[in-house]
Structure 1
Amino acid sequence: MKQAVPARQDWVRCAEPVEGMTRIEAWFSGKAYAMHRHDTYAIGRTLAGVQRFSYRRSMCNSLPGNTMVLHPDEPHDGQAGTDDGFRYRMVYIEPALFQDVLGGRALPFLEGGISTDARLAAATAALLPQAGQLIEPLEQGEALAELAHALAAVSGTPAPRVKGDYLAARRARDYLQAHCTRAVTLAELEAATGRDRWSLSHDFRVFYGTSPYRYLTMRRLDMARRLLLAGSTLAQAAMAAGFADQSHMTRHFLKTYGLTPGRWLRFAGRL
């Protein structure tokens, strides 16, 4: 009698994060992530299999060699498109790093989420190295600049600046970053930026791809993940990062990463 072949274990390996950027490599046999959204670009390469995901009311299938570009705050999930599973690399990049290059232009948006454009493939290569390969700071800076320009060219982002106060949005981002572990009011942001709250909220979305509150929540989640990796309990991490309690953190964690904190911890190895 023929013995059944044991199912291959899913895995996710994370590179040591650097400011504004996180890299992973992963393999999944079936369902990978529930619907979720984050305030970063998710830019990646399918290495093997069919990588299937829901994105902007469509079902997308990324094949080996395709470049995936998911815009900040756009809901998506992830699963294998065939029984063979899929393997991929992904880099999550804060829009602020692209804005340092674009200087107040609208964030590039790639329709459909998948590209075969050679310019994007070349620009992402340096940011998606083999497992364990380090990226030097100067190399990273040059690669991010090249990728920002490639995204703008491929997406057709116009060169002229869009309407809005980029400096006010940047001051708001800096303020939220500095005060992410406590409640921040719109009145505080008005005082810190000199911009009325409704115009500021619009500006923030244009230049950073998400709302001020979502940005604040993401910085709390960043802190919570660091604390969890350092050995804090879920409750300790939640309180230290500024969440009301553990369930509050778990709810946002699942909406942002498509995984519960416990499942994420089981996958959180290092490249």
Structure 2
Amino acid sequence: MKAKDYREQVAARLGTATQATFAAPTTPEPPVVAWRAALASLSSPSSSADNRREALQLLQSGTFLEREFDPVRAEYVDALRRSTSDPSEDVRRYALGVLMSQKDDFARSRLVEGLQGTAAALLPPAAALSLLARDDHASIGAVANQILKSNTDPAVRMQAVRVLARDPSSVQGLEEILHNKDEFREVRRAGAVALKNLDPDRFVQSATTILNDENEFPDIKSTVGGALELDGIVPNVTRPGP
């Protein structure tokens, strides 16, 4: 689909959504009218959480119209940042997701502060780490390592490991996680993926060691073996004697 055709579709959607959600007049309106109505809905005490979420989605759709959206772009960013404190977790999650895709410093700081306990958490730890995993900011790896030292929830630990996939200083720590048989196996599998992403050569060495370990869990062997196979690598595996 051509960019021009896509912009026209988005503009049509904006007009429809404005009439249905924000009670715009029946005559077609410029897209900016829909965006102003959405911004007003976000600020209205009477707006429901569903309406606030729809307003954010409507505004996010408008960003594809590039120059047409410029008059309200700064207001939209401000609205997103305010929405990180919305009473609805669903609205907070959406706003933070958009901001983190833009590598927004404000959103990053708020998520990190929540994980560190220096401010109210905006999202549960696993969800916060999942969003932070999109960012390669230097401070994120340190936060993930702190979580691994203090949190025993496997879902949280798995997300922390995924964050480390963007941190080159974490290769040794990821190797330790991959080889730790006391670690949750889903966390070890995430560690395998992260290590392969950061240092393919070290991953091959670790995978070969695991495949040669008669006492290793079969699913861990399957994970590392499958990763090597995808890359066309044949590991040096010692076959057991008769």
TM-score normalised to structure 2 length: 0.26
Q: Larger radius of gyration, structure 1 or 2?
A: 2
More relative contact order in 1 or in 2 (CA 8 Å, sep 6+)? 1
The structure with the largest strand share of the pair is 1
